[in-house]
A = this chain, B = another copy of it.
Amino acid sequence: MENLKISSRTPHPLEQLSVAEATVARDVILGAHSKTVIDFRTISLEEPAKAELLPFLDAESEGKLSGVARPRRLARISYDVLGENKKYGFYESVVDAEEGKIVAQDLIDEKFQAPLVLDDFGHLLKAVWESKLFTDAIAKFNIPEGFEVIVEPWPYGGRDLEDEDKRYFQGLCFAQDKRNGNPDSNFYAYPLPLIPVLDARAKEIIRIDRLGTGGKDDLLAKGTHAKDIIEHCKGSEYVPELLEGGTRKDLKPLNVVQPQGPSFTITDESLVEWQKWRFRVGFNPREGATIHDVRYDRRSIMYRLALSEMTVPYADARAPFHRKQAFDFGDGGAGSCANNLELGCDCLGHIKYLNAIDTKADGTIKVSPNVICLHEQDNGIGWKHTNWRTGRAVVTRNRELVVQFIITLANYEYVFAYKFDQSGGIMIETRATGIVSVVNIDPGKTSHYGNVVSPGALAQNHQHIFAVRVDLAIDGTNNTVVIEESHPVPFSPERNPAGNFYEIIQTPVTKSQGFDAAPHNNRIVRIINPNKINPISGKPVSYKFQPPPTQKLLAQPGSIQSRRAQFTNHHVWVTKYRDHELYAAGRYTLQSQDEANGVTDAAKRGDSVENTDLVLWSVFGLTHNPRVEDWPVMPVEIFQLHFKPGDFFGGNPSIDVPSQRNLSSILDRDSVVKT
C-alpha cells in the first residue's frame, strides 16, 4: 500500500488547505490590495480542474504516481474591498499557495451578493440596538419584567426589484425569559411581530417590518396584535435542567464498543479506506463535507459527491414572509455553519474527527475542530438465508461507514451523512431537526399559514428542497444515464398469453435535461458505462437509484420564490461536466431574484450527454406542515437517497462478510418458555 501514499509533506491535491497554505493565500491578497481595506469572507481549497486531477487520481489508484504531474495547490479567497468613495468591491480570487501568486482575480458583478458570513450578522445585532426605529417599536409592547428581546439574524430573502443594488439583512425578534438565569432558555416560544431590516453597507436599520398576528378570519391584515404581545405565550424548554420533571429515568445505557478499534483508516487527513472502499473526504465553507474519488476494489464509482443546495421557502402569504426563503448552502454556506462536534455525544462507538479551517474578517486563519465525524454503525441484518432442509442459517450484519456533519442555521439543524455499505451501496442521508420557525399569533386563533405548536406561536408551513450533485464515474468518466421503467404489456398470444408479463423499457438520456420521478412506472435512473459489459448478465455495468417522488416547489411559477429556485422544477437533472459547476441554484443565491448559472442553465445548453463525462443532480424534499410534536425541538425527519450497483459487480459484494455470532450479545430466553 505504500506506493498509494504521497509524502506527508506534500498535501494531496484534494486535502483541505492547511493553516499555513491559507495564510500564504491571505498574505498574497493583502499584498495585492495594499491601499484598501479588506474584509475576508472565506479561504478554501480551489479544487484542481478535472483534466489535471483525474490522471493523477487514476495513477494514484494504480500505484503508478511516479512521473505523473501533481496539480498545484490553489486557494480560493472570497473578500470585500472597501475602495475609494467607500465603494465596495466583492472579489473572488485564486492564489497558487505553493508559489504565492495570484492566478485569477475576479471582481464580482454588482448584481450578485456575496454569501453572508457571521460578521454580517454581527453588524445587524449591533445596529438594532443603536436604532431608534427599533427601540421605539419595541417600546410599544409590554415586554414583561425579566424578559429580554433577542434578535435573530436572517438573510433578507429574494429582494424586490427596487432593491436591486442593496444588501440587506433582517432580524426575527423574540423575548427570552431571563428569570431562570439560564442563557439557553428557549426564546423562540415568545415571538415578537416585528422585523428590523439592516442596510448592510450603511450598517443601519432602515425599516421595521410589522408582522400580522391574525388568524383565518384576518386574511392578510396586519397589526391585529395586542400590546401584551407575549402574555398568551408559554415557556417551552428543551435544555434538560429546565424541563419540568427533568429527563426520563427509565432509559438504560446502550453502548457501542469496538474493542479492536474501527475497521477504517484515515491517512493524509483525507484518505479513507474501509471494506474495499477508498475515497477522499474534503470540506469547504459552501458544501460542508465533500466526497471524492470513490473507488471500490480500485474500480472508480464517483468522482465527486456533495450536497449542492437546499432551499426552504415559507408559505405564509402575508408580507414580508414572501421573502422568507433560505438557501442554506448558497446564502451562508453549510460548511461555515457546521457544528464543532466537541461534545462527543453526537455519535456512538469509535469516532474519528476531521477539522477544517476558518477565516475571520481580518484574515486570521483558525482551525475549526471536529467539523466532520466518521464512525461505523450496525444497520441490522445484511443478508440471510436458511436452508430449511438442513436448518442451517447464514446471516450477516449490515455494517456501514458514516461520514457525517451537522449544521445549525439559527433555529434549525440538519444532520447530513454519506454512508457506505458492504454491498456496494452509497447513501446520502439528511435529518432535519432543530426548532421550527414560529411567529406570533393572537390568542385562540388558528391560521391557514401554519399550525399553532405552542400558545401564541404559529409554526409556518414550509418546504425543504435539497439538491445533491453526483459526479459519477462508473469504471471511468464515459457514462450514459438511462431511464428505466417497468411497464405492463397487453394480452397477446405471442407476447403475453396469461397477462403476467411486464417489460423493462430503457430510454437513454441523450441531451442535458431535467426530468421527474415516476414511481408508478418504477422509474429507475441507471448510470451505465456503455463501454463495459458485465460478463455474467451481458449488460453494461451500472449504478442506479430510484429518484424519490417528493413534492416539488409549491410557489407559483413566476413568483420570486420560484424564480430563484428553478432547480426545484425537476427531480433529476443530467448535465455535461464542467469544472466549477457545482451549485444547483447558482453560485450567488443571497437576495437573488433569479437562479443564475445553476443547474437549469447548465441543462439548457442541450449538451450531448451520451457516453461522456456527465453529472447527475438529484432533487428531493419535504413539505413540512408542522405539528405540535415538532415543538420545542422537532424529532428528526429522515430522508435517504440510495445509490446501488446494478450489474457492476460479479455477485453480491457482501457475500464474504463473516457471519459469526456476536458473542457480546445476550440471549435472554429464561422467562418465555411456554408450558
Contacts and interface: CB of A to CB of B under 8 A. Distances in A.
A434 interface: yes
Contacts of A496: 317, 556
A31 interface: no
Interface stretch (A162-170, A344-352, A467-475, A604-612): A344-352
Contact of A184 (B390, B521, B656): B390
Contact of A658 (B240, B263, B395, B650): B240
Interface string A644-675: 11111111111111111110111111011111
Contacts of A129: none
Interface of A is mostly: loop
A369 B654 CA distance: 29
A83 interface: no
A673 B257 CA distance: 24
A255 interface: yes
Q: Count copies of this chain in the complex.
A: 2
- Interface range on chain A: under 10, 10 to 19, 20 to 34, or 35 or more? 35 or more
A1 interface: no
Interface stretch (A197-205, A284-292, A501-509): A501-509
A351 to B, nearest CB: 6
Given A315-B500, A549-B549, A628-B650, A252 B247 contact: no
Interface in A427-469: 431, 433-435, 446, 448-449, 451-455, 461
Nearest to A434: B385
Contacts of A632: 651-652, 655
Given A254-B258, A633-B652, A383 B433 contact: yes
Interface in A3-23: 16, 18-20
A120 B641 CA distance: 43
Contacts of A654: 635
Contact of A392 (B239, B381, B387): B239
B316 A675 contact: no
Contacts of A397: 254, 348
A561 B349 CA distance: 48
Contacts of A266: 671-672
A69 interface: no
Contact of A247 (B245, B395, B656): B656
Contacts of A20: 675
Contact of A675 (B19, B245, B377, B627): B19
User: Can you list the 10 inter-chain pairs with the closest CB atoms, starting with the nearest?
Assistant: A499-B559, A322-B498, A499-B556, A423-B635, A255-B664, A317-B501, A502-B554, A345-B661, A522-B551, A522-B623
